Amino acid sequence: MPNYKVGIVGLGKVAHLHAHSLQEIENAEFTAACSRSLEKAKSFSAEYGARPFDNITTMVRQADLDLVIICTPHPNHLDPTVEALKAGAHVLVEKPLASTLQDCDGMITAAKKANLKLGVISQRRWYPPTLRVKQAIDAGKIGKPVLGTVNMLGWRNEEYYNSDPWRGSWDAEGGGVMVNQAPHQLDLFCWLMGPINEVYGTWANLNHPYIEVEDTALAIVKFRSGAIGNIILSNSQKPGIFGKIQVHGENGASVGVQTEGGAMFIAGMAPITEPAVNDLWTIPGEEKLLDQFIREDNELFDKINPMEYFIRLQIEEFLDALDHNREPLVNGEEARKTVELFTAIYRSTRENRPVKFPLSPETDRDDFDGRR
């Protein structure tokens, strides 16, 4: 089995989760770390036995890297991704792929030009209850999905926004709850429900006057299949309640997963306090399986570090894609769907009308896709 040398760019809180995860992967070696501050790179590298760098191209070439993981703030994914690809490394990016469609397309184009793989961290696809939902839909157990809902009610306080200088501003964070906290749920929504045809949405800042970005967003979604959906996202509920995705089928059966429960997970600040579980399961003949599923998920939660375990599973899947020269499950095009969805909500709010898909980058406006 090939041994892949891996580097990390952007050494904030989430980078530690990746570093720990890499240490548990048999065919991966965490080799190098890069930051604009060489002192920060040295400190981070010393903790994990890696080599420090302050230049991506130099890092890729001198450390002979196969893969670079990008952990910079969302608006700053494009440049390091393109630089790493040009230097000859595959790239795995923390969610979301970018904060704008223009950046997404630049990254996808650069990967194709370099003939290298591009992936995006979406580790909740590897949660067992999520996989049960996906497998049930693919097996036709609920018939065609006809209604999907996303409800993510969380909380972020002023301490959270003060914890890093980039949080809470359009330029540095790229957006609020849609761009930072909800991409996992939006990714699962698109994965489970299929291609989108039209979105009507709105966003607001309800109780965070000390930030620029939205803390709440709602949308009605029409899918190409004829299905409809509803999205409710918020960072305004103390201490954070739940994140749920439920899919209802044409035969009347429903399946769902609660991906977050209790206080919301914050990398480097708050742990995952409750396991992801199936919260809804009415497939005929399988209704009694729900208690079994919940028991299994609680047992797994007690055995693993959930903050790192599922990231490790996704990195392993990405490396397997390299082994077999196939596309990773969450490649650039797949990850772009999440950015397209939250961009549609911003544009719909600006224009007060439904937004048709597909969306192209805006290059003739300066309002940051309706955010400003």
Residue 110: enclosing H or E segment and its boundaries?
A: helix 101-114
Q: pLDDT by residue (tens digit) across 326-358?
A: 999 999 999 999 999 999 999 999 999 999 999
| Cβ 148 vs Cβ 248: under 8 Å | yes
Task: Give per-residue pLDDT as tens, 117-137.
Answer: 999 999 999 999 999 999 999
On the question of pLDDT at 322 being above 90, the answer is: yes
Q: Per-residue pLDDT tens for 22-51?
A: 999 999 999 999 999 999 999 999 999 999
Percent of the chain at pLDDT > 70 equals: 98
* Mean pLDDT along residues 69-83: 97
* Sign (positive or negative) of CA dihedral 161, 100, 339, 332: negative
| Within this chain, domains 4-123+325-330 and 125-304 share the same CATH topology | no
Between 332-351 and 101-114, two packed helices, what is the crossing angle to 10 degrees?
160
Q: Where are the domains of the chain?
A: 4-123+325-330, 125-304
CATH of span 125-304? 3.30.360.10
Mean pLDDT of 61-78: 97
Helix or strand (DSSP H, E) at 344: helix 332-351
pLDDT at 117: 98
**What pLDDT shows up at residue 64?**
98
CATH code that applies to domain 4-123+325-330: 3.40.50.720
DSSP state of 92: E
* pLDDT at residue 2 in the model: 74
Q: Can you give the pLDDT at residue 159?
A: 93
> In the predicted model, is pLDDT for residue 215 greater than 80?
yes
Whether the pLDDT of residue 270 is over 70: the answer is no
- State residue 273's pLDDT score: 82
Measuring CA to CA, how many Å separate 14 from each of 116, 119, 312?
A: 24, 17, 13
pLDDT at 272: 77
pLDDT band at 240; cut points 50, 70, 90: confident
Q: Compare 263 and 85 and report the one with higher pLDDT.
A: 85
Q: Which residues contact 52 (CB under 8 A, 6 or more apart)?
A: 32, 33, 34, 35, 38, 41, 42, 44, 45, 46
Confidence band for 264, pLDDT divided at 50, 70 and 90: low
